[in-house]
Amino acid sequence: MWELIHNGGPIMWPLLACSIIVLTIIFERLLFWIGMALRRKRALRDEVLLLVTNRDWLEIENKTAECDDVVIRVLRVGILHREYDMNKAMEAEAQHLLKKMTQFMTVLDTMITVAPLLGILGTVIGIIASFKMLGNSSVADPKLVTGGIAQALITTAAGLTISIFTVFPYNYFKSRVENAAHLMEKYATRLEVEYRKMIIQGRK
């Protein structure tokens, strides 16, 4: 590995930094989503909606007080603010949670673009150096150029490798965010419908 970095030239160091950043973020995001999965309480989500129809507000507060399920957190905030603006309260909480879910995603997206560009830059610098060496040589030996170009292409290969291996976890994390957003919206809508039905029935 150190030989590759040495042969690739100075651009290999920024590429190495990119790879370290990418691996760190992927590991951190994996731990985040594993934690989210462990805190998921699917049965409690439907139970909360059932308790809403029964107007059992105290029981809802007791059951959801220590729960870290993102859907339940949105529902809880909406219920606590039911007399003011349930929709706005849930929307604000959902945005707060989505911000946590998308943390560092911009960095991964940037690395997908930057790593290949750094690789190309390293290759261009290497090719320029190779032709400069050939121009200064008294013997027009093609091996001087081909050997230098072969070394210069190491940076392009490294940049593309980093980009390719970042795309897969990035798309996976992105899909998880989209699924979580869909679930929060789905249950928030169900809560609003149940609450409005309850109010209408109470007026009759």
Reading the chain (204 residues) residue by residue, the pLDDT tens digits are 666 666 667 888 999 999 999 999 999 999 999 999 998 888 888 888 888 888 888 888 888 888 889 999 999 999 888 888 888 999 999 999 999 999 999 999 999 999 999 999 988 888 887 777 666 655 455 665 666 677 778 889 999 999 999 999 999 999 999 999 999 999 999 888 888 887 776 654
Q: Specify the pLDDT at position 103.
A: 92
Q: Specify the pLDDT at position 137.
A: 53
Contacts of 83 by beta carbon, 8 Å cutoff, 6+ apart: none
pTM check: above 0.95:
no
Q: Specify the pLDDT at position 56.
A: 83
Q: Phi-psi category of 139—alpha, beta or left, where left has phi over 0 and alpha has psi -120 to 50?
A: beta
* Buried-state track 74-84, b at ≥16 Cβ within 10 A, e below 16: bbbbbbbbbee
* Buried-state track 136-158, b at ≥16 Cβ within 10 A, e below 16: eeeeeeeebbeebeebbbbbbeb
Euclidean distance between CA atoms 98 and 105, whole angstroms = 11
| Residue type (1 letter), 185 | E
Query: Residue 125 gets which letter from DSSP?
Result: H
DSSP character string of 9-40? -TTHHHHHHHHHHHHHHHHHHHHHHHHHHHT-
